[in-house]
Amino acid sequence: MTNPNLDTTPVKRLLSLDVLRGITIAFMIMVNNNGGPGAWAQMHHAEWNGLTATDLVFPTFLFVVGASIVFAYEARLARGATRAELAWHTAKRAGILFLLGIVVNGFPFFSLPHLRIYGVLQRIAVCYLVVGLFYLADKRVWTKVAVLVAALVGYWVLVRWVPVPGLGMPGRDIPFLDKDLNLVSWLDRHIMPYHLYEESPLHNLRDPEGLLSDLPAVGTVLLGLLTGLWLRSQRAVKTRTLGLAAGAAACLATGYLWSMWFPLNKKMWTSSFVLTAAGWSLVVFTLAFWAVEQKGWGKGKGSSRGLVWPWLVFGSNAIAAYMFSELLPGILGNIHWTSNGRQMNPFAWVSLHVFSQIPDPGWGAFAYSFSFMAVCFIPVWILYRKKIILKV
């Protein structure tokens, strides 16, 4: 059974979604290379509970993945692809993304005893696989809402009400959402010992992209998918813009209200964080949709195109931009020489002679992160000019 509100005409590329993807990947590159401890607080992740602008980057990318599933799959179905072919493509793409994540984690030395298995691309792969196959199997809106609610409420129940083996009940025997004493980190320590992101030689602690927290992350992608279904409806553009704004308000209100009992926490991907992050993603997307789809920015020539052009460039090859930004430090960071008795590499030299000369450390760190993002823009711009879209 299909949704009667969905448009059955051939699917056109949604430029505003490319703009949101481009903004997200550009900011992701900046915060992943934020210039060090002197960077502004909003350029760092929250230490534990709480929320910064940096914490919103990854969930926004997952949100875009969900929205993109609708348009990409419908476009391929309109061209004659079968659901079986799309299912195989989904599985193959997820596998490639997962392997690319392993490459990013291990590059350039690939220390197998402590090679991190979880990661950003790995989480994208898992969520894309689950939600993509779900969408192919059933396009009804209410089933997506039902699974979304089950994922978010179910995760809350698991983290809040299921005793942690050997430690006890959260909120009674151990602090609720303790950094180390929680069900999420306990599970990861047992299935991936000494292959986690946050660990030390003496302690195998936790991973922000761990297994159990994939459950609410699927909820993030489902919220993006529901947004995509809304945007494919036959409603007027203005109505769809208002719907995005209403969705943003509803997610923000619900997320912040729930955070009173289930705090915002990106590293555990709490259910309140899912809703709040989706709300802020929808705020930015509403502005992009209004500017591009309703006002026509970026669809012609003139100053309005210049305002969205950089984000269209980044958004056209987001995974390529991310891979380049993750591998470049590994390459340049292992080029060493000695200068005035100090061990140097290209990053250390530029920081010492350029960015450390800026009096304010916050602006110095921002200049570094912006410059790094600009360098990563160059290969993506070349691909864009040659009309090359790298796909996995």
The DSSP H or E segment spanning 57 is: helix 57-78
pLDDT in tens, 119-133: 999 999 999 999 999
Handedness of CA 333, 338, 340, 341 (dihedral sign): positive
pLDDT in tens, 303-326: 456 678 889 899 889 989 998 998
CA 362, CA 324: separation in Å to the nearest integer?
25
214 pLDDT higher than 90:
yes
In the DSSP assignment, the letter for residue 260 is T
pLDDT at 204: 61
pLDDT in tens, 379-389: 999 999 988 88
- Is-contact 161 140, C-beta < 8 A? no
Helix 271-289 vs helix 141-161: angle between axes, to the nearest 10 degrees? 140
CA 77, CA 64: separation in Å to the nearest integer?
20
- Identify the CA nearest to 278 among candidates 267, 269, 289, 290: 269
CA 89, CA 246: separation in Å to the nearest integer?
34
pLDDT average, residue stretch 195-214: 79
- Is-contact 44 32, C-beta < 8 A? no
- Is-contact 102 117, C-beta < 8 A? yes
pLDDT average, residue stretch 67-72: 94
pLDDT in tens, 78-119: 999 999 999 999 999 999 999 999 998 888 778 788 888 999
Residues of the chain with pLDDT > 70: what percent?
92
25 pLDDT higher than 60:
yes
pLDDT average, residue stretch 71-75: 93
